[in-house]
Amino acid sequence: MILAMDAKRNDLLTGFYEKMVLINTVESSLLNLFAEGLLRGTVHTCLGQEAIPTGVCAALEPGRDIVCSNHRGHGHFLAFGGEARPLIAEIMGDASGVCRGIGGSQHIQLGNFYSNGILGGMSPVATGMALAEKRKGSGGVVVQFLGDGALAEGVVSEAFNMAALWSLPILFAVESNGFAQSTPTALEHAGKLSARGAPYGIPITELDGNDVLAVHAAAQEAVGAARGAGGPQILFMNTYRLGPHSKGDDPRDPAEIARHAEQAPIPRARAGLDPEWCDTTDHRIAAEVAAIIQGIRSARIAAQ
Ligand SMILES: Cc1ncc(C[n+]2csc(CCOP(=O)(O)OP(=O)(O)O)c2C)c(N)n1
């Protein structure tokens, strides 16, 4: 029995590790492309936060559930089953991208995946979608990803109220990385952020957002509760953004970042896996992502 549980845990961790490395590799490559001048606009990466999209989206049913993402949404897209090539092409402004290169980094839509860069703007949209799913009786759950900074937006409080009042099937997945751009949480918010659900009677679970297995287990429970007519749920997941807010804007102490890097989701997961397998996986995924980018660049040159 214990052996079977260990094997299941290992299988889960293996799959999650691959997904997190894919997200990390794509995100790092995007920062390189930006530095090369190959991306227009801006790009927000989720480096260091890979466990949250990976663990939460693994608790969802792709054809039935809906993901509403934010400005930091590439990881959510990849974790919800989106492919790397059309995502990268989209962000590169290429016509072969998910939204024909028109949406860019922050405005991506494919199937049941929607992202938008207006802070907190997806809270009422996601709440409306949850109302629609409830009325249809589809059994679908909507997950809205938002940062701790977005909790200061009034529209998020309004969405919490409506979702609770109408007992809607929605999970608000808060990625608390301690900053809103360059403002530390303590300078932005009064009171205890992880208690924000209490006035609305929304169950809220606070957890270590860098532990992918813990995120997955909490998401399974919260999604199950929302699907089972338990109304809205909030997961308040503590994490740390290792990359800059967007491209190069990072006023934080490099020593602080280095300290957090040791506790990031990928090294944490790696500690429970075979290091040789991890190295092989890292190299394979790096080669796959490099080939995707090379392919897009070559096609572009050929078309000129
Ligand atoms: C309504 C609105 N105001 C301001 C911005 C600019 N902006 C983009 S991200 C961001 C900080 C977001 O912080 P948080 O919600 O904690 O998410 P994180 O960036 O930390 O993932 C701000 C102020 C915006 N996109 N929308």
150 CB under 6 A from ligand 1? yes
75 CB under 6 A from ligand 1? no
Question: What pLDDT, on the 0 to 100 scale, is given for residue 1?
Answer: 60
The chain-wide mean pLDDT, for the chain, equals: 96
Options 2.40.50.140, 3.30.1330.40, 3.40.50.300, 3.40.50.970; CATH of 13-303: 3.40.50.970
Question: What pLDDT, on the 0 to 100 scale, is given for residue 2?
Answer: 65
Average pLDDT over residues 56-70: 97
Spans of all domains in the chain: 13-303
Task: Give distance in angstroms: CA of 119 to centre of ligand 1.
Answer: 5
Question: What pLDDT, on the 0 to 100 scale, is given for residue 131?
Answer: 98
* Ligand 1 atom 5, closest CA: 119
Q: Ligand 1: which of 107, 181, 193, 246 to mutate, most ligand atoms within 8 Å of CB? A: 181
123 CB under 6 A from ligand 1? no
Reference 29, options 291, 296, 289; nearest CA is: 289
pLDDT over 90 (residue 8): no
pLDDT over 90 (residue 66): yes
In percent, the amount of the chain with pLDDT more than 90 equals 91
Question: What pLDDT, on the 0 to 100 scale, is given for residue 4?
Answer: 76
Average pLDDT over residues 39-56: 95
pLDDT over 90 (residue 192): yes
Confidence of residue 54 (pLDDT cuts 50, 70, 90): very high
Confidence of residue 304 (pLDDT cuts 50, 70, 90): confident
Q: Ligand 1: which of 107, 119, 260 to mutate, most ligand atoms within 8 Å of CB? A: 119
Question: What pLDDT, on the 0 to 100 scale, is given for residue 300?
Answer: 83
Q: What is the pLDDT of residues 153-178, one digit of tens each?
A: 999 999 999 999 999 999 999 999 99
76 CB under 6 A from ligand 1? no
Average pLDDT over residues 70-75: 98
pLDDT over 80 (residue 121): yes
- Strand 183-184 to 179-180 pairing: antiparallel
Q: Do the Cβ atoms of 146 and 177 come closer than 8 Å? A: no
